[in-house]
Amino acid sequence: MAADERQADRRSSIGREPVSLALLAMLAVACFAGVSALSRIYHAQQTSLGDRWFTRGTADLKAQHFERAVSEFRTALLYSRDNYEYQLNLAEALVGLKHRSEAYAYLINLWEREPENGLVNLELARIAAQNKETDQALRYYHNAIYATWSGDEEIERQNARVELIEFLLGINAKTQAQSELIALAANLNGDPSQHARAAGLFLRAQDYEHALAEYRLSLKTDRHNPAVLAGAGGAAFELGKYGLAQRYLQAAVAADPNDAQSADLLKTAALVLQMDPFRRQISVKERSQIVLEAFATAGERLKACPAGDSKGPLSPASGLRSLSENWARMKPRTTQGSLRQNPDLMEAAMDLVFNIERQTNAACGAPTGTDMALLLIARLHEGN
């Protein structure tokens, strides 16, 4: 009887074991689900807090409150230590504070994770430029130009190239800047402001032909822009295209009467056109009168330019004395009648005038007014 009872209990116990196991499994699942839910809530809270501090940081970074931005981005990173955007914005804020070494440490780590990131390459280029590491700066600038960008990729790449050009102009690498400018100009979309920006950079790089071409493209759709008209006039002036320069500068001054620089260039361009005796379609009488006035102007310039007390056969003063003697010998023969009858005398007189203006420019500094006009005319006819 006792044996039967024990056997029944054993059977009952065996029957309860699956139920217990099932209950334990259900309890384990419920606990795991609870822990997972709590974990998700915790991570969601962490993400929310990180995003909140990041939002504050981006606002302060945009307002250039760099110190506050650094603190806020550091706090954001406490909640998401490996967040790429948080680290990148922290690096930008550190650059703003001029903490270049610390910024570089973050940026180079980000670059290793994403070497094709445009903004990371651009910030590394800026740091290298500030540290006068030219080769590194060029490398990262070029990376930025051909990298991927999260916004308008074409605009971001153009802006990176413009920044590279500014850097090259800043270190006086004009030839390299011109090459980058040609690449920039080849990818413009017809926006007059972009053509005007490229033209201004060409002007600074002393590539006046391309500058004038870009200003003209800008003026096709923005015909009355005073700054663009002034730039086109300045580029034409540098190219010795004084008639074209005069037209652009007249339009620039009409559009902006306060543009003193364009007004001064306009006066000089008008003097060059007026005082050039070799221009076409003027009479012999008018040509001889122009030569007489130029000869007198050069004589006055010699008197006003003593070239100091330097001595020796090759000194500036010696050269000017020789010019003075030549001018004095030629003066009695330089009359309107003689000039009209003797074209060779006219040529000789203007050769002397041009030599005087060149040498006084070297010995006594840049001339003004009619003397500047004569110097420009001399350069215009060099080699003729």
Residue-wise DSSP of 76-108: HHHH-TT-HHHHHHHHHHHHHTT-HHHHHHHHH
- The answer to whether position 82 is within a domain reads no
- The answer to whether position 201 is within a domain reads no
Instruction: Please give the mean pLDDT across all residues of the chain.
Output: 89
CA geometry: angle at 227 spanning 222 and 230, to 5°? 105
pLDDT band at 244 (very low <50, low <70, confident <90, very high): very high
Task: Please report the pLDDT score of residue 57 as a whole number.
Answer: 92
Asked if pLDDT for residue 314 goes beyond 60, the answer is no
- The answer to whether position 347 is within a domain reads yes
Task: Please report the pLDDT score of residue 281 as a whole number.
Answer: 86
Task: Please report the pLDDT score of residue 318 as a whole number.
Answer: 74
- The answer to whether position 354 is within a domain reads yes
Classify residue 312 by its DSSP letter: S
- The answer to whether position 168 is within a domain reads no
Q: In terms of pLDDT, which residue wins out, 271 or 307?
A: 271
In degrees and rounded to multiples of 5, residue 139 shows phi and psi of -60, -50
- Cross-strand bridge partners of residue 148: 117
What's this model's pTM, rounded to 2 decimal places?
0.80
Instruction: Looking at 258-384, list the stretches that DSSP marks H as alpha helix, in order from N- to C-terminal side.
Output: 260-275, 284-303, 316-330, 336-341, 343-364, 369-380
- The answer to whether position 307 is within a domain reads yes
pLDDT tens-place string over residues 124-178: 999 999 999 999 999 999 999 999 998 889 999 999 999 999 999 999 999 999 9
Task: Please report the pLDDT score of residue 89 as a whole number.
Answer: 95
Which residue in 69, 66, 74, 70 sits closest to 56, CA to CA?
Answer: 69
Which residue in 134, 88, 78 sits closest to 114, CA to CA?
Answer: 88
Asked if pLDDT for residue 47 goes beyond 90, the answer is no
- The answer to whether position 268 is within a domain reads no
Distance between CA atoms of residues 221 and 282, nearest Å: 37
- The answer to whether position 353 is within a domain reads yes
Confirm if 248 and 237 have CB atoms less than 8 A apart.
no
pLDDT tens-place string over residues 181-198: 999 999 898 899 999 999
Number of domains in the chain: 1
pLDDT band at 313 (very low <50, low <70, confident <90, very high): very low
pLDDT tens-place string over residues 6-36: 665 565 555 566 666 666 667 766 666 556 6
Domain that holds residue 307: 284-380
pLDDT tens-place string over residues 99-130: 999 999 999 999 999 999 999 999 999 999 99
pLDDT band at 200 (very low <50, low <70, confident <90, very high): very high
